[in-house]
Amino acid sequence: MDAIIIGGGIAGLTTALFLHRAGFKPRIFEAATSYKPIGVGINMMPHAMRDLDSLGLTAGLAVRGIEAREFAFYNRHGQHIYSEPCGRHAGYDFPHFSVHRADLHAVLHEAVVARLGSDAVQMAHRCVRVDQDDRSVCVQFEDAHTGAPLAPVRGEIVIACDGFHSAVRRQFYPGEKPGFGGINMWRGVTRSKPFLTGASVTRIGPISPGKFLIYPIRNFDDGTQLINWVAEIQGGELTMNDWHTPGRRDEFAHVYRDWRFDWMDVPDLIERSEFILQYPMVDRDPVDRWAFGRVTLLGDAAHPMYPRGGNGAAQSIIDARTIARLLAAGGDPVRVLAAFEAERLAPTATIVRTNRVRPPDALINLVEARTAGQRFDRIEDVVTAAEIRDLVAGYATVAGYDISQANQQPSEVPA
């Protein structure tokens, strides 16, 4: 099977690794002119790590990232609402890593180069369109530097992993608009001393007036850590949805000016950030078709979702394992891609919709509503243990990382 992968991000590289394991040698074409260590943190939950571990990548992530110990929830006054262990500390068979997105990408890219060769990824190839007949697919590219046409590339199938702004998706769904939920995000990283357990994924405050998410993503020899933070504020207009768009402190920092707790100084974290990026909380409505003959969408090109719970990357990784397993079984490629769509479309559509209305931090929003944003004396008087379990466990079940699902070994991709 001569497979062409469009996009050399997390989805494309992971798909290439799984296809290689199944005996294929795919070709990857990436629009970026070079890989740059830009970005912020990402959480790799056990259901994603299960698949990355099967590719032999756990050790590389352990060196670069931080194995998370707990999820912690606080109100906007810094009062503790609830904590629970995560990853192997909660009995999962696989860890939960908080890691810099660039470090995750580096682990994947290094594995691709080592296993598929230094020429496996062709840079500066921006996809223009795909054309197909009964026997093959032809991809038209242009040079990302100059815009000049490049030699077309022909293969048996095309797997479009070209992200939220997928050129392939746009070809099949012209005029599609992003779905904007009225929430804007500002993100950054700050070198600081550890907080709480030193490995806590922590959510503070409700979405209105403002939520703050913090977790460490890298350890340094002097005992400090690189802390990833995300400010989410409801309100405002849809802005450019590009992960590299610079943001300004004066756009959001005033919401958190009094958030100084005995365990975290939020204004200081924002003030000392190495950079600030701004991004709107956007997704796209689920569609009823990904596979078009010898072409299929995968990852964010297929099911772009709100960046919550690390599920954008996690579902892309599960997609990659699934399509490799189905292709390894053989058969007509058109039917195989249709089978991939049939297996993965409905579960990911459910996650897209759930992220809109019942995110992992729904517990904080409930506490905020019941206390009218005021301090509480005892959390037990505000929300019951049963309510907490239902809210927290409900999202994990939908997203596929509750312990029974994540510890279950999936159908393996042949080695």
pLDDT at 360 (0 to 100): 73
Contact 152/190 with Cβ under 8 angstroms?
no
Which residue(s) pair with 99 in the sheet?
Answer: 42
pLDDT at 239 (0 to 100): 59
Of the candidates 141, 169, 164, which has an alpha carbon nearest to the alpha carbon of residue 4? 141
Count of CB atoms within 10 A of residue 125's CB? Answer: 25
DSSP letter, residue 42: E
Which residue(s) pair with 127 in the sheet?
Answer: 141
pLDDT at 411 (0 to 100): 59
Residues 6 or more apart in contact with residue 234 via CB below 8 angstroms: 182, 183, 207, 208, 209, 210
Contact 81/380 with Cβ under 8 angstroms?
no
Structural domain boundaries in the chain: 3-47+56-66+101-177+285-357
pLDDT at 241 (0 to 100): 56
DSSP letter, residue 8: -
Architecture of the domain made up of 3-47+56-66+101-177+285-357:
3-Layer(bba) Sandwich (3.50)
Tokens of 211: 């939520």
Mean per-residue pLDDT pooled into runs of 10, the chain (415 residues) = 95 98 96 85 94 96 97 96 95 95 96 96 97 96 96 97 96 92 91 98 93 97 97 75 79 96 97 92 94 98 88 94 96 97 96 83 92 96 91 72 74 62
DSSP 131-172: EE-SS-EEEEEEETTT--B---EEESEEEE---TT-HHHHHH
- Helix and strand totals (H; E) in the chain: 11, 19
Q: How far apart are CA 140 and CA 148, in angstroms?
A: 11
Answer positive or negative: Cα dihedral of 270, 71, 39, 277.
negative
pLDDT at 281 (0 to 100): 87
Q: Tokens 């004066």 identify what position? A: 250
Cα within 13 Å of Cα(374), Cβ side: 7
pLDDT at 109 (0 to 100): 97
Is 258 exposed, middle or buried (CB count within 10 Å of its CB: 0-12, 13-18, 19+)?
A: exposed
Contact 65/98 with Cβ under 8 angstroms?
yes
Contact 214/97 with Cβ under 8 angstroms?
no
Category of 308 on φ-ψ map: left (φ > 0), alpha (ψ -120 to 50) or beta:
beta
Which residue(s) pair with 305 in the sheet?
Answer: none
Q: What is the pTM of this model?
A: 0.94
pLDDT at 410 (0 to 100): 67
Q: Terminal CA-to-CA distance of the chain, rounded, Å?
A: 16
Q: How far apart are CA 114 and CA 25, in angstroms?
A: 13
Residues 6 or more apart in contact with residue 96 via CB below 8 angstroms: 43, 44, 45, 46, 49, 67, 68, 86, 87, 88, 201
Element (H, E) at 28: strand 27-29
Contact 65/108 with Cβ under 8 angstroms?
no
